[in-house]
């Protein structure tokens, strides 16, 4: 008579799994080495993709700076608008060229350390003059692009005007308004609109001391000649007893000239 083995777990719930064999101490478990490289590789791949996307992203203003081998970085190059580009050159040849996609440089204004340019879309730029290391800032002039396409614009003549010998302030003169920008960072400091029935003439300007005189012809026959000329400086329109804002950077000492309300020009009687 055959005797069947007794199942001691019968009637006591599911069977327990067999215990895993005990590993001898000092022997770590073996894992595939390739798995340990996956997280670093994933991070590296993500960084490469981000860098490629940033490199492929076009500049919002379409700037292209081409630095030439000719020329010395010690000398200060001259500037010109040549074939729609801003070109810096010296006796040895072209130093650098600044172009913008689909836009033409209409006028350039050289200053110490600055290369200001007016473009056909009404944008004003400031490029580092000596080596074209960077375009410091871009500023759009309101309502300028349609006017620049007209013959009356004279190719942007007189639109860019320095307001002090060191070119710390730049005036952009258009028929509708005169806007002044701090050249170190392109900050808009003040705006002077033209009188009603009048318009500024950027190509008709003169200087007297620290003042810039801008013609403001008016359509009305009753306009006095004194109303058809405005005098400005780096602090704005010159008028008796004015209290203009200063143009210094935040944290700098107040401009000692800020107290000049000015009778740089005698007021009309």
Which CATH number applies to 60-140: 3.40.190.10, 1.10.540.10, 3.40.718.10, 2.40.10.480? 2.40.10.480
Question: What is the residue whose two structure tokens read 């009356």?
Answer: 152
Q: β-strand 201-208 against 187-193: which pairing, if any?
A: unpaired
pLDDT at 232: 97
The answer to whether 248 and 240 have CB atoms below 8 angstroms apart is no
In the structure, what pLDDT confidence band is assigned to residue 189 with cuts at 50, 70 and 90? very high
Tell me where in the chain the CATH 2.40.10.480 domain(s) lie: 60-140
pLDDT at 155: 94
- Measured between alpha carbons, how far is 170 from 192 in angstroms, rounded to an integer? 13
Q: How many CB atoms lie within 10 A of CB 146?
A: 9
User: Cα dihedral angle (129, 135, 137, 141), rounded to 10 degrees?
Assistant: 90
Q: Is the pTM of this model over 0.85?
A: no
pLDDT for 215-260, tens place per residue? 999 987 677 888 899 999 999 999 988 888 788 887 776 555 545 5
The one-character DSSP state at 144 is H
pLDDT at 226: 85
In the structure, what pLDDT confidence band is assigned to residue 263 with cuts at 50, 70 and 90? very low
| Segment 157-184 mean pLDDT | 96
Q: How far is CA 216 from CA 35, 65, 112, 256, 263, in A?
A: 76, 37, 29, 30, 20
pLDDT at 164: 92
pLDDT at 122: 96
Spell 54-88 as b/e; 16+ CB within 10 A means b.
eeeeeeeeebebeeeeebeeeeebebebeeebbbb
Q: How many CB atoms lie within 10 A of CB 48?
A: 10
pLDDT at 244: 82
155 three-state secondary structure? helix
| Segment 9-14 mean pLDDT | 48
In the structure, what pLDDT confidence band is assigned to residue 15 with cuts at 50, 70 and 90? low
pLDDT for 45-103, tens place per residue? 666 655 544 444 456 789 999 988 655 567 899 999 999 999 999 988 899 999 999 99
In the structure, what pLDDT confidence band is assigned to residue 172 with cuts at 50, 70 and 90? very high
Examine the pLDDT at 210 and tell me if it is beyond 80. yes
pLDDT for 109-149, tens place per residue? 999 999 999 999 999 999 999 999 999 999 999 899 999 99
Examine the pLDDT at 197 and tell me if it is beyond 70. yes
pLDDT at 69: 66
- Sequence-separated contacts (24+) of 134-138 with Cβ below 8 Å: 134/65, 135/61, 135/63, 135/65, 135/98, 136/185, 136/186, 137/185, 137/186, 138/61, 138/186
- Measured between alpha carbons, how far is 148 from 12 in angstroms, rounded to an integer? 96
């Amino acid at each position: 008579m055959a005797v069947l083995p007794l199942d001691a777990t019968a009637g006591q719930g599911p069977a327990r799994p067999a215990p895993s064999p005990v590993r001898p101490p000092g022997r770590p478990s073996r894992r595939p080495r390739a798995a340990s490289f996956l997280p670093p590789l994933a991070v590296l791949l993500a960084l490469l993709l981000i860098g490629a996307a940033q490199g492929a992203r076009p500049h919002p203003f379409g700037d292209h700076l081409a630095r030439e081998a000719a020329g010395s970085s010690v000398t200060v190059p001259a500037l010109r608008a040549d074939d729609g580009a801003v070109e810096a050159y010296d006796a040895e040849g072209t130093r650098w060229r600044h172009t913008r996609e689909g836009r033409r440089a209409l006028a350039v204004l050289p200053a110490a350390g600055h290369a200001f340019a007016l473009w056909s879309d009404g944008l004003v730029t400031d490029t580092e003059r000596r080596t074209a290391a960077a375009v410091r800032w871009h500023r759009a002039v309101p309502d300028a692009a349609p006017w620049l396409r007209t013959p009356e614009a004279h190719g942007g003549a007189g639109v860019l005007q320095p307001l002090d010998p060191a070119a710390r302030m730049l005036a952009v003169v258009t028929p509708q308004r005169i806007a002044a920008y701090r050249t170190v960072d392109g900050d808009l400091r003040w705006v002077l609109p033209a009188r009603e029935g009048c318009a500024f003439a950027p190509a008709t300007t003169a200087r007297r001391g620290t003042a810039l005189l801008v013609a403001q012809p008016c359509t009305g026959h009753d306009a006095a000649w004194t109303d058809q000329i405005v005098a400005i400086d780096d602090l704005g329109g010159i008028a008796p007893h004015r209290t203009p804002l200063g143009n210094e950077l935040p944290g700098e000492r107040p401009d000692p000239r800020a107290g000049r309300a000015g009778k740089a020009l005698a007021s009309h009687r």
